[in-house]
Amino acid sequence: MEYYDQHMHTNFSFDSKEKMENYLSLVGNRMVTTEHLEFNNPEEKNQDSVPDYDAYVKEINRLKEKSGKRIYRGVEIGYSAGQEDKIRDYLAKHEFDVKILSFHQNGDLDFMNDKVRHMDPIDVATQYYKMMWKGINAFHDADILAHFDYGIRKLNLTSGMFQTTAGVLLTNIFKIAIRHDMAFELNTKSMYKYHNIGLYDYAIEIYKQLGGKRFTIGSDAHDAKNVYSHYDEALEMLKAHDIHHINIYSNNAMTVMPIDDVDEGIRY
């Protein structure tokens, strides 16, 4: 059965140069790209990073006709304080099949900026998860909660340090996500490029114990070579936590797929 990457970017995102067409030969019959929507983006001199929706849809339709594949429209909603009305207004005017919610920045600083390396790690983690807690209370209209660990990718926190600093906040964040049927994303970039496998082991168990039942895998690819990165390992992690299904979002609907039904090797 076909499973496909639920988090990837093309040159319709401000931080990617990859053409959508370059993914086509690497995927199966279905594909979604999740392009950045980031108002007041500090990585772009506080300008709004908004995909060119008309051009995006036009390219999708061109490639669908050329390839015969189903290509879905996706957005990665980057929330920051005070932007919820602008986000809701944008989403009301633009249709997407898949919506993922992220917390990248606090209005002044993106937490992947190298400045974070020189800040106190406990202060950074506390600030980030307080921001995330307030944010998910203010805005939660999404299918998937992406990379819960984004704000601490630049830090070296053990699972024990994380639990002491941010465990209670993360628990409360997951409660809101579960209440609004948001899936937990296994972000393989976080897990393997940024070496946060231990944090994902810890967080999956919290989400599961709170009653969370929805899980997705996303490579967070910004170039074609990283699509489906470490998918087999992520599936094995789910099974190690006694989770035997995975979720797919498309056409504004969610599908449950048993892991044992997913094709071996590359995930399509």
| pTM for this predicted structure | 0.96
pLDDT recorded at residue 268 = 43
**H/E/C letters for each residue in 155-196?**
CCCCHHHHHHHHHHHHHHHHHHHHHCCCEEEEEHHHHHHCCC
13 found inside a domain: no
11 found inside a domain: no
184 found inside a domain: yes
216 found inside a domain: yes
267 found inside a domain: no
Could you list the residue range(s) of the whole structural domain that residue 141 is in? 20-261
In total, how many domains does the chain have? 1
Per-residue pLDDT of the chain (268 residues; tens, 9 = 90+): 688 999 999 999 999 999 999 999 999 999 999 999 999 999 999 999 999 999 999 999 999 999 999 999 999 999 999 999 999 999 999 999 999 999 999 999 999 999 999 999 999 999 999 999 999 999 999 999 999 999 999 998 888 889 999 999 999 999 999 999 999 999 999 999 999 999 999 999 999 999 999 999 999 999 999 999 999 999 999 999 999 999 999 888 899 999 988 865 444 4
123 found inside a domain: yes
pLDDT recorded at residue 193 = 96
CA pair distance 90, 108, nearest whole angstrom: 22
14 found inside a domain: no
- Domain with 86 in it: what CATH number? 3.20.20.140
5 found inside a domain: no
